[in-house]
Amino acid sequence: MPVTPRFGGCASGAGVGVGADSASGPSYRRLPEWLKVQLPGSGEYAETKALLRSQKLVTVCEEARCPNLGHCWSRGTATIMILGDMCTRRCGFCAVGPGRPNGFIDWDEPRRVGEAVAGMGLRHTVITSVARDDLSDGGSTIFARTIEEIRKRSSTVIEILIPDFRGKREDLQRVIDAHPDVINHNIETVERLHPMVRPSARYDRTLELLQRVKASGAGIKTKSGLMLGLGERDDEIEQTLRDLVAHECELLTIGQYLRPSPNHLPVIEYVHPDKFRSWGEQAVALGFENVASGPLVRSSFHADELAGTVRPGESSKRAG
């Protein structure tokens, strides 16, 4: 049965979920056919689910109830969310619940993530988190330790989807020094809409973070993501793409914003797939190394193909 997907997502802000019709109430707008998805069937991702459960790990795939979950898990890919499931920020688009973690840290989590990644036999691993402004280091130490624990057990490509660490250079450097292969930090929307969409973040801070990663000389690929449908103009989208390229962002995802609940920002426009295709082509022409652009594209969807870890259509699981 087709159901309504929804947008949500932690540090990335880029998960997408499936739940009750998020457009219900007075602002109801019927979803176009290209946004209706099928719930994952039983059995197609059971092995991945069982392994994650055994390690008591949280995935953004589940937290945001992503419609791509069954597809990705059947390919042996999952985006693991560390540092809990309670975010200290309250972004206008995000489905992950806000709260007060009060400094709680699960110090054993990095080991469990490392074991899960090794057990899944992944070629490409994505790690993300909620924003943890309650921690003095923003959670960067746990990110670094998680990368180290994965490296001990696997030769997988490691992609991390990070918060902005409130612009603290030492926290970003701690993560860079752990040597992930890809660092993703989503810009989410155009500059004009930032105060409404990401009130605790800043457009210029996101650009600076991406440029600092490249300036480190660590050879880490940079990646970001952009949502459409919040009322942005075409000239603003183009300027955002140009700003990202100017700040040395190499990989890009572009997807449709979908309202998680009536308490979140409304959808202003359902952007047609043809327009997503056009923006993807323009982004490549402007200088991005690789771009994924479509209504249901999210930060971690086929992240292995976007980063060049595997060829399109190939499983992210290692053979044998």
* The CATH homologous superfamily of the domain defined by 2-306: Aldolase class I (3.20.20.70)
pTM, 2 dp: 0.85
Cβ-proximal residues to 106 (8 Å cutoff; 6+ apart), any chain: 84
Question: Which residues belong to the annotated binding site for [4Fe-4S] cluster?
Answer: 61, 66, 72, 87, 91, 94, 300
Every domain of the chain and the residues it spans: 2-306
Tallying the residues shown for the chain, one arrives at 320
- Per residue in 87-120, pLDDT (tens digit) is 867 776 776 777 788 889 999 999 999 999 998 8
Q: Write down the residue that tokens 């994650």 correspond to.
A: 52
Maximum CA pair distance of the chain?
Answer: 53
- Per residue in 127-155, pLDDT (tens digit) is 999 889 899 999 999 999 999 999 999 99
Question: Which residues belong to the annotated binding site?
Answer: 61, 66, 72, 87, 91, 94, 300
Between 21 and 265, the higher pLDDT residue: 265
Q: Distance between CA atoms of 95 and 187, rounded to whole angstroms?
A: 17
- Per residue in 227-265, pLDDT (tens digit) is 999 999 999 999 999 999 999 999 999 999 988 888 888
Cα distances (Å, whole numbers) of residue 244 to 93, 201, 217, 253: 21, 16, 18, 12
| Of the listed ranges 54-68, 223-237, 305-319, the one predicted with least confidence | 305-319
3-state secondary structure labels for all residues of the chain = CEEEEEEECCCCCCEEEEECCCCCCCCCCCCCHHHCEECCCCCCCHHHHHHHHHCCCEEHHHHCCCCCHHHHHHCCCCEEEECCCCECCCCCCCCCCECCCCCCCCCCHHHHHHHHHHHHCECEEEEEECCCCCCCCCCHHHHHHHHHHHHHHCCCEEEEECCCHHHCHHHHHHHHHCCCCEEECCCECCHHHHHHHCCCCCHHHHHHHHHHHHHCCCCCEEEEEEEECCCCCHHHHHHHHHHHHHCCCCEEEEEECCCCCCCCCCCCCCCCHHHHHHHHHHHHHHCCCEEEECCCCCCCCCHHHHCCCCCCCCCCECCC
Q: Is the pLDDT of residue 320 over 50?
A: no
Model pLDDT, residue 223: 98
Model pLDDT, residue 26: 43
Confidence of residue 36 (pLDDT cuts 50, 70, 90): confident
